[in-house]
Amino acid sequence: MARVAFRWTVLTVMGVFFLLPLVAMVEFSTRDPETWPLLLNWPKLSADYPALAVGILASLAQAAVTTVLMLVLLVPTAIWVRLRLPKVRPLVEFLCLLPLTIPAIVLVVGLAPVYAWVNYFVGGSSITLVFAYTVLVLPFAYRAVDTGLSAIDVKTLAEAARSLGSGWFTVIVRVVLPNIRSAVLSAAFLTVALVLGEFTIASLLHRTNLQVAIEFLGKSSATVSVAVSLAALLLAFVLLIVLSIAGSWKGKKS
Amino acid sequence: MTGVAVHLDGLRRTFGTVHALADLDLSISPGELIALLGPSGCGKTTALRILAGLEEATAGRVLVDGKDITRLPASKRDMGMVFQAYSLFPHLNAQQNVEFGLRLRKRSLKRAAEMLELVGLSGFENRYPNQLSGGQQQRVALARALAIEPQVLLLDEPLSALDAKVRVQLRDEIRRIQTEVGTTTLFVTHDQEEALAIADRVGVMKSGKLEQLAAPAEVYLRPATPFVADFVGISNRLPGVVEGDTVQVLGTKLPLVGTHADGAVTALIRPESIQVSPDPSSSAKVLTSSFLGSLSRVTVTVDDHLVVAQVPSGDLPELTQGTRVRLTISPLAVVVE
């Protein structure tokens, strides 16, 4: 009985701790009845708040490009390391988890000189942030892909495919990838959620994205800024829910 | 379809200072099934993987049908392989698994159905690997390996993950199918019964070398070395005395395999070569007896030695613990060391 009571107390306290700010955001952003309809009216939004519109588009583009870049770099690498270079796996794992241990602010200090060169060669567009973001999402994406690879016997499957006449490309595309689909999907969703919520690096490198725009907007139009924050949060929630559904669907299948 | 000849010529494989294969020479005749038998780490799987192209030899050559394929990648070797671990592609059903190699080769997919029928799995085409039992998965894997009409069939302990009954059943079936299609086959196993039952010739390996390569009966009845005698069935190690071409063990003169200098030796005698009968005047006594089905095993102490004998289970009631018994050894040739 005491345990049940304790459990409910913890759940209630945690629930209030997480939900209270969100409830406050809902309450604050609905004080002006015009706010939420505005978010659904893109032409008006982009006319009234051009900086916010630019931020939203920039973040969406960053999320998309980072996801592609992450998948192209990470998935083949993780598979290759498993298949051919098992000895360097701990090193790769360490490297991929490194960004998690370095605070974003420290990362920026290191990235600033690198971005001076990026500015010089590619220009100062906000899309160039994808290079930093790809590093930033590595810990999460790597873990997701690696978990997927652990769930199947990659080595035997690859050897079976090779003995049947597949080259390495066919092995990866037709045998390994279809069996780690949900893991790859997880990595992609986590990347999108992370990029949509990123503020520090974008702000300190003087580039724009959704969070930078929200922060900027907070100074002039607080309700819209809070509403957009909430919408971005909800989008991330939806992504994570889709992720867990995709995971459990796969669990049922096998 | 007739098989092709396979030659492993001086194959060597070293991992650091360990010699997994030490200049292995092995010739497989067209259509023949050779079983490589040995304890784990003896190099049998390494030999098979080098033949498959999944591992590289440090030195030596692999010749298939007269062609040197030592440097050819696995995907170009035209070999069907069945693995110890379940290796069906989880995202494909049985039929699609068998079709995999055919699609890569742009061959008619009709053969997939024929192969599933050959392994007795018609009607299971749409099942996914997780809906098949272990035995069925290995049958599909066999169908998949044979569908591409490989030059050589490689079986890497395909039965070791299965339970005893399915194992015997599938073993016999592999032999039937192999004889039917006539593909040259290399079968790797650590199970001596399996090797003796299935193969045309059995190669017993130790420390990366072949100790003996001969027909199953030959390997069993005339083991070339003490290691082979010991590995292929349990052997009693009993003191004996060599005199010319015979050896005297427990008072019985037995013919000798090979030659040996006269003097004291250790003779390797199989449990089934020893008969046990009650004899109150004997000094030998039954220590334990265990019922194993149609045959039973009796341990007897004689002059401080333990002797294991295999006896018909019908004799077991009179061979209880402490019974004094007489041991008689069948006059089969024995190995000494």
pLDDT in tens, B188-241: 999 888 999 999 999 999 999 999 999 998 888 888 888 888 888 777 888 889
CA distance A118 to A170: 35
pLDDT (tens digit, 9 = 90+) per residue, A66-116?
Answer: 999 999 999 999 999 998 888 999 999 999 888 888 888 888 888 888 888
Task: State whether residue B118 is helix, strand or coil.
Answer: helix
Q: What is the pLDDT of residue B249?
A: 87
Domains present along chain B, CATH in parentheses: 6-226 (3.40.50.300), 235-336 (2.40.50.140)
> For residue A12, what are its two tokens?
């209630």
* Pairs across A and B, CB distance < 8 A: 68
Task: State whether residue B100 is helix, strand or coil.
Answer: helix
List CB contacts (< 8 A) between B104 and chain A.
Answer: 164-166, 170
Q: What is the pLDDT of residue A253?
A: 47
Task: State whether residue B51 is helix, strand or coil.
Answer: helix
Whole-model pTM: value is 0.80
- Topology, domain A36-253: MetI-like fold (1.10.3720)
- Kindly provide the residue ranges of all beta strands, DSSP E only, lying in B95-245, ordered along the sequence: 152-156, 184-189, 201-206, 209-214, 236-243
Which of A202-216, A231-245, B215-229, B238-252 bottoms out in mean pLDDT, i.e. has the lowest? Answer: A231-245
The full set of domain ranges for chain A reads 1-30, 36-253
Q: Which residue, chain included where needed, has tokens 């990026």?
A: A118
Q: Which of A152, A156, A165 sits opposite B75 (nearest CB)?
A: A165
Could you tell me which residues come within 8 angstroms of residue B173 by beta carbon, excluding any fewer than 6 positions away? B119, B120, B139
Query: Are the C-beta atoms of residues B147 and B117 closer than 8 Å to each other?
Result: no
List CB contacts (< 8 A) between A166 and chain B.
Answer: 75, 104
Q: In Å, how far is B219's CA from the nearest CA of chain A?
A: 32
- Reported confidence tier of residue A248, pLDDT bands at 50, 70, 90: low
CA distance A30 to A140: 34
- Reported confidence tier of residue A49, pLDDT bands at 50, 70, 90: confident
Q: In Å, how far is B74's CA from the nearest CA of chain A?
A: 6
